[in-house]
Amino acid sequence: MRNLVQARFLRRYKRFFADCRLADGREVVAHCPNTGSMKTLLGEGRRAWLRPSDDPRRKLAWTLVFLEVERGERALIDTALPNRIVAEAVLAAAVPELPAPRGLRREPRLASGGRVDLFLEPAAEDHPGTWVEIKNVTMRSARVENRADFPDAVTSRGARHLDELRALAEAGERALQFFLLGRGDCDRVGLAREIDPAYAAALQRARDAGVEFLAYDLDLAEGLIRLGRRVPIDLD
């Protein structure tokens, strides 16, 4: 994304709003796509990267895409991007663990009524399709240096997603939880058991049932936002 505008983050409020100061001194209100706790991300004066829009139908002309974190790196705030980033990488055969599919369905509905982020249709009839749930990981770990942990708040929705993946695995389907490491100052992903023990328990049930876990970081070089390299996951 080469059209991002740099600003300074001032404050976030009512979950959806972020006040930022542009380089010319103007204060603008940006849409904050991340409605979670954003633990370890918020701090007045941090650099922010905003995406402008000239769509007259939008209530806010700016969207908060990145916030600065340690060592001058960036953390991905725009929660609309992770699914697209992963889907594009899979279709480009850039994820060896997920061979390029014949087709890709976004947010397919399950028989239970729930949804999963992606379904990768098998390239050959004798190969299974793959159900993929994607989580953006942006909270710096309080316990392990250079690690980002998930979740950053209690998430019954996240536990439900794991239970849905577990049910698919128990039915003989290939199911995978994809953690996107969304901050550049960390090099691995971990589990925040202390924040949400119920999520940790759901994850263990999913592992026992055969759900796979995979984590990649972001490549932000040359003004692009794309999938980077595989990184380790600490789930024990």
Q: What is the pLDDT of residue 126?
A: 66
- Summarize the chain as % helix, strand, coil (round to 5): 20, 35, 45
pLDDT, one tens digit per residue, over 12-31 is 999 999 999 999 999 999 99
Q: Are 9 and 44 in contact (CB under 8 A)?
A: yes
Gap between the Cα atoms of 5 and 47, Å rounded:
10
Q: What is the pLDDT of residue 122?
A: 86
Mean pLDDT of 37-63: 95
Mean pLDDT of 202-208: 98
Which position has the token pair 């000239």?
A: 54
Q: What angle do CA 69, 158, 59 make, to 5 degrees?
A: 60
Q: What is the pLDDT of residue 224?
A: 84
pLDDT, one tens digit per residue, over 131-157 is 999 999 999 999 999 999 999 999 999
Q: What is the pLDDT of residue 184?
A: 96
Gap between the Cα atoms of 209 and 211, Å rounded:
6
Mean pLDDT of the chain: 95
Q: Regarding beta strands 62-68 and 74-76, do their DSSP bridges make them parallel or antiparallel, or are they unpaired?
A: antiparallel
